[in-house]
Structure 1
Amino acid sequence: MSVGSSKTKRFKVLWLTSSYPRNEDDSSSIFLRYLAEALSTRQIDIQILSPDHPEIQNTEQASGITSRHFTYFFPRKLQKLAYGSGILPNLRAAPWLLLQVPFFIISMLVTAAGLIFRDRPVLIHAHWIFPQGTVAVVLGKIFRIPTIVTAHGGDAFALQGLFIGAIKRWTIKSCSAWTSNTRATAVAVGSDLPTPCVIPMGINCKKFLDLDTEKIPLRPDPEKLVLLFVGRLVEKKGVADLLRAYALLPEVLRKQTELWIIGDGSERKKLEMLAIDIEYINSIRFWGRIPNQKLPGYYASADIFIAPSIKDMHGDTEGQGVMLLEAMASRLPIITTNVGGIGSVITHEETGLLVNPGKPKEIAMAIERLLNDNKLRARLSLKAFEVVQDYDWLTISEKFISLYRESKIGAKNEF
C-alpha cells in the first residue's frame, strides 16, 4: 500500500515524552506537537503520554492525535519535576524534587503499559533517552514491540554520570533504532554505539511568512533596531553573556537599539537584576513567556537574532536550537555560538555569525559588525532563508515515516 493512499490502514504509535504543550498557548516542546501533526496527516495515529501538570488544559488536538498524562505526585500542585525550565534545571533549583523521580518513572511505565495493553500500538517512540527511552525499551521487550529512541540534546550532553551513562548506553543498544537531532548530539551520547539516524527537528516555514501586520508588536521607538533573544531563561542559553555584550556596545549603538528578551525560566530574576546594572536599562525589555502562535510577530519586529548558548557547569548545552530555525524562516541575520549542535544548523559567514561561547566581547563585536553592515545582514538572512526550507516539517516527517517503516511496524502489517 502507498503511504498516502486514502485506503491505507492507519497505524498506532505510542510516544513517551517528558514534555508536551500543556495548553494552546504553551511552547513546551512545541516541536513535538508539530511533528505529531505532520505525521498524523500520513496515516499514523499518535498517542502521546506526557507528565501531568497543574497548567494542563483540555486542548483540541489534530485528527489522529490523542494526548494522555500520567500523575506522579500528590497533591497535584506539587508536580513540578517536568516543564518550566526543564527537568534538570528544576532539580538543580529544587533538589527535593529528586524524591519525585522514582514516582515519575514508575507512573510513566505503568500508565504506558496500560495503554499498550488496551490500544495495541505497533511502535513505541520515546523522546529523550532517559527516562523515556529506557522505559520504552523495557516495555518493548515485555510486549515485543519495536522501539525508537530520539536524543534531543540535553539528554546527551548532560547526565554523564557513570550509573546514568550505563543506563543510557544500554537503552541505545537495546532499542530497535535511535535518532539524534544533530551529529554533535549523537557523538555526545557515545561514538561506539549503533549508528543513529540524524533527523533534526523542523519548523513550519509558512507560519513566518506573510504575517498580518496587526499581529506584529509595535516598537516603542520605530527608529531603533531590535536585537532579539527567544528561549528558556536557563544557564545554558547564555543570556547573561548577551546582557554583558550589550553593555560593551559603543554608546552610540546602544542608543540606536533595543534588546528584547522573550522567555521565562529559573534564571529570569537573576538576569533582570543584571540588566539593572547596565546603562540604558530602558533599552532592555523582558517580555516573559509569549504564546507560540504569537512569536512570528515578534520575530517580524526584530532586526537581528542572537542565541548566545553555552555549555553550563553541568555539561548541558544546545542540541540543535529550534529557535534558530524560526529566526532563519523569519529572514533574520543570526549571531550564535559554536557550541553543541549549533554548528550543524548555522554555517559561519553563510547563514549567520558564529562566535565562541562564553565570550561577551565577541558577541558585542558581532553585533556591532551587523549593525554597521546592511549588506552583510541582507546576505546572511537570504541564505539562511534558503537553507531553512530543508527543515520544513513535510521533509522531516517523511524521514521519520521512513524510519518507522524500516523498524518493521507490525510483523503482519505493511506501510
Structure 2
Amino acid sequence: MNITFIVKEFPKTSETFIISQVRGLLNLGHDVKVISLRKHRKTFTHLNRELFDRIMYLGYEGNTLRRFIKTACVVISHGVYTDFLHHALKNRTLLSILSYPAIRSHFIDKADIILVHYGDLACNFSFLNNIPGFKKPVVVVFHGVDVARYLPSLSPLERARLWDTMTLGLPVSHFWLERLQSLGCPVEKLRVHHMGVDIERFSLKRKFPLKNILRLVSVCRLVEKKGIDIAIQSIPKVLKAHPGVEIIYDIVGDGPERHKIENLAAFYNIQKRVVFHGEKSHQEVKKILEAANVFVLPSRTSGNGDMEGIPVSLMEAMSCGLAVVSTFHSGIPELVKNGISGLLVDENDIDGIASALMRLISEPDLVIRLGNNARKEVVKNFNYTHLNVELESILKDIIVHYK
C-alpha cells in the first residue's frame, strides 16, 4: 500500500505513537509518506535518513506567493474555497496549507489511502474530497483533545462534512467512540484502535517490594490535564502518615505548568524530594522508569476542556512492570484495571492519590502484583507490533471495499 499520513508536527516528542505507526507500516513493507504542517522544534537524531526523506513540511516548501496563487486557482476553480478558507483561517493554518499543489503531485495523488491524526486537522483537509477526480479513502485517528474541545465547537453541519469526508474514524478508546457518537458520527464509521508501545524497548525489570523507599515517577508534558500538582500535594500527607518512608519523586517533562509545580513543591517544603528532569531522550526515560517502583499520573479534565486519550506514558510504565496510580479519567480505565493492574481514584482527589500511595507502602507485595499484571495487560492489548498489524488489516480492507 501507498499510505500518506497527514499530521501537525513530525516527529514530535510527545507523539511517539505516530512515529511508531509510520515505522511499523514501513517495516511491514508499505510505502509511507508524511505530510506535516510544521517541523518540531527538537530534532530527532535517532531517526534514520530514510524516514526524514519521506516527510514534506508544508511551511517550508517553495515560494509562498507562488504557492498562494496556485492554491487559490485550484480551490476557487473547483468551488471549494469557502470550506478551505473557513477551516484554514479558523485553525490558523492557511499559510501551511498553501503547499496544496506540491502535496497533491508528490504525495496524495500516489497514495492508496490517507491517514490523518486528529479530527481538527482532518477538517482542514476536508475540501480535498470535493475536488473532481480526487476521491481517496480518508481514515481519521481521534485522540482526545480534538473530540473534547474542537468538534463540539463546530456546527452540526460542519461536523457532518467531516463525517462525509471520513471513510473511517479510529478513536483511541471506547470512551471517545461514545463521545463521537454523541456528536452525530454514524457508528458504522467508527472503530476503536488503541495506540501502543514497544514492549521490547520498555521491558519488564524485576521489582522488589517497597522497603522504606517510595520512588515515584511521572513522565508527561507539564500541563493542567496531567494533574502533577495533585501528586505534589499528596506527598506531605503520605509523609505525615509514614514519617519513616523516604520519598523521591522524579518528574520528566516540561511545559507551561512547570514553574507553578516547582513553587508548589517549595511551598510544601518537599523541593529536595522532587527532581525536575525536563525533557529527556527515550533511553534516559527508560533508565528513570527502571529506577522507580510507582508511576503517578493524576490526569483530569482541564479548565479549558482538554482531556487525555489513553496516555502512552502510562503504557510505557506498565510495560516496565511499574505499579501505576492514576484516575478514572477518559480512556484510562480501559488500560488500567483498578485493583488489578493499577490503582485509580477520582479526578482532583488529593486524598485519594495519597491513600493509594499509602496502600502501596502498607502492602508492599501489591506493588509487585500490580506491576506484573500491568505488564501482562500491555503485552496483550497495547503491543504496538500487534496494533500495527491490526492497522494494516484495517487499511487494506478499506482500500478493497472503497468506492
TM-score of the superposed pair, with normalisation by structure 1: 0.80
Q: Is the 8 A contact 1:16 1:124 kept in 2?
A: yes
- Alignment partner of 1:262 is 2:282: no
Partner SS, residue 225 of structure 2: helix
Structure 1 residue 116 and structure 2 residue 116: aligned? Answer: no
Question: Structure 1 regions of 5+ residues with no counterpart?
Answer: 1-10, 74-99, 214-221
Alignment of 1:107-146 (within 5 A): 107-119=95-107, 120-130=110-120, 132-142=121-131, 143-146=134-137
Q: 1:169 to 1:155 in 2, by over 3 A?
A: farther
Q: Distance in 1 between matches of 2:378 and 2:91?
A: 40
Higher alpha-carbon deviation: 119-128 or 106-115: 106-115
Structure 2 counterpart of 1:208, from 195, 202, 214: 202
Judging changes above 3 Å, is the alpha-carbon distance between structure 1 residues 181 and 116 closer, same or farther for their aligned structure 2 residues?
Answer: same
Out of 162, 185, 189, the residue aligned to residue 193 of structure 1 is 185
- 1:290 and 1:58 mapped to 2: Cα distance? 12
Of residues 172, 175, 180, the one that matches 1:181 is 172
SS of the residue 2:99 aligns to: helix
1:375 to 356, 360, 365: 365
Confirm whether residue 34 of structure 1 aligns to residue 20 of structure 2: yes
Label 1:161 to 1:392 Cα distance change in 2 as closer, same or farther (>3 A).
closer
The answer to whether the 8 A contact 1:159-1:165 is kept is no
Sequence identity (%): 22
1:299 alignment counterpart? 289
Match of 1:116, as an amino acid?
R
Is residue 245 of structure 1 aligned with residue 239 of structure 2?
A: no
Gaps of 5+ in 2: 62-87
Partner of 1:386: 376
Determine if contact 2:119/2:141 at 8 Å carries over to the other structure.
Answer: yes
CA contact (8 A) 1:173 1:193 kept: no
Q: 1:347 to 1:150 in 2, by over 3 A?
A: same
Question: How far apart, CA to CA, are the structure 1 residues paired with 2:158 and 2:237?
Answer: 45
Compared CA separation, residues 410 and 347, structure 1 to 2 (3 A) = closer
**Aligned position for 2:316:** 326
- 3-state SS of 2:8 partner: coil
Question: SS where residue 115 of structure 1 aligns?
Answer: helix
Q: Secondary structure at the match of 1:229?
A: strand
Aligned ranges for residues 52-71 of structure 1 at < 5 Å?
Answer: 52-53=38-39, 55=41, 57=43, 60-61=47-48, 63=50, 66-71=54-59
Letter in 2 for 1:198: V
* Structure 1 residues 272-298: Cα deviation after superposition (integer angstroms, max 9, x where no partner): 111110123211111111112321111
Please list the CA deviations of residues 55-87 of structure 1 after superposition, one character each: whole Å capped at 9, or x if unmatched: 2548543756712212189xxxxxxxxxxxxxx
Distance across 2 between alignment mates of 1:58 and 1:354: 34
Question: Tell me, what secondary structure is at the counterpart of 2:33?
Answer: strand
Q: Distance in 2 between matches of 1:104 and 1:112?
A: 16
Question: Relative to structure 2, which stretch is displaced further, 105-114 or 263-272?
Answer: 105-114
- For 1:124 and 1:227, the matched residues in 2 are separated by 41
Partner residue of 2:37? Answer: 51
Compared CA separation, residues 410 and 64, structure 1 to 2 (3 A): farther
| Separation in 1, partners of 2:314, 2:173 | 14
Whether the aligned pair in 2 keeps the contact of 1:17 and 1:50 (CA below 8 Å) is yes
Distance, in Å, in 1 between the alignment partners of 2:171 and 2:59 is 28
When normalised by structure 2's length, the TM-score is: 0.83
**What is the CA–CA distance in structure 1 between the aligned matches of 2:244 and 2:37, rounded to whole Å?**
43
Q: Report if the CA contact (8 A) 2:10-2:40 is conserved.
A: no
CA distance in 2, matches of 1:184, 1:254: 41
Cα pair distance change 1:340/1:103, threshold 3 Å:
closer
Contact 1:124 1:148 in 2 (8 A): yes
- 1:247 is displaced (CA, Å) by 2.1
Q: CA RMSD in A?
A: 2.7
- Kept after mapping to 2: 8 A contact 1:305/1:334: yes
Matched, 1:271 2:261: yes
Equivalent position SS for 1:407: helix
Contact conserved, 2:9 with 2:38, CA < 8 A, in 1? no
Structure 2 match to 1:396 = 387
Summarize the Cα distance change of 1:270–1:179 in structure 2 as closer, same or farther, 3 Å threshold.
same
Alpha carbons of structure 1 residues 354 and 210: separation in structure 2 relative to 1, 3 Å = closer
Deviation at 1:152, TM superposition (A): 0.8
Q: Secondary structure at the match of 1:408?
A: helix
Conservation of the 8 A alpha-carbon contact between 1:122 and 1:410: no
Number of residue pairs matched?
362
Q: Distance in 2 between matches of 1:114 and 1:122?
A: 17
Helix, strand or coil for the counterpart of 2:150? coil
